Amino acid sequence: MESLQFQDNQCRPLRELLPLLQEAFAHVIVDSRRGAEYLAGLMKGLQSTDVEYQEYLDLFPETCDVILTDDRQSDESFLKLVHMPNGRVDVLFVSSDHRRISAHLLGKLLIALNLEPKQPTKPTRDTVNFS
């Protein structure tokens, strides 16, 4: 699984972003349960006393998984992202082929939400497997 991190510098809640996403993409599917699963994967290996663990715990109630596509029938041309209330947006790709095929959708997302690439302060881990 490959992931790219972006930052919504305005830290807008998903309810404010949904109209922008629905205008840019034909199909928008939101799933809060999968958002929580993603956070749980990020928390694996962290201690409950770690600051990062506590920050992730605070994000649980409003973190959502979002699928974006213009072609509901396609198994390859879609974006999967996780929106967190702190403004972090992780875009997930199942493979390099998926990333290549969905590049045009990523461009639409960045324009629609005016997202900035997130500068990691430390190496990120790819610990989450969504099937």
Sequence-ordered list of residues with C-beta below 8 angstroms from that of 87, at least 6 positions apart, any chain: 7, 8, 9, 10, 11, 12
The whole-model pTM stands at: 0.83
Whole-number pLDDT of residue 125: 46
Whole-number pLDDT of residue 119: 60
Per-residue pLDDT at 43 exceeds 80 = yes
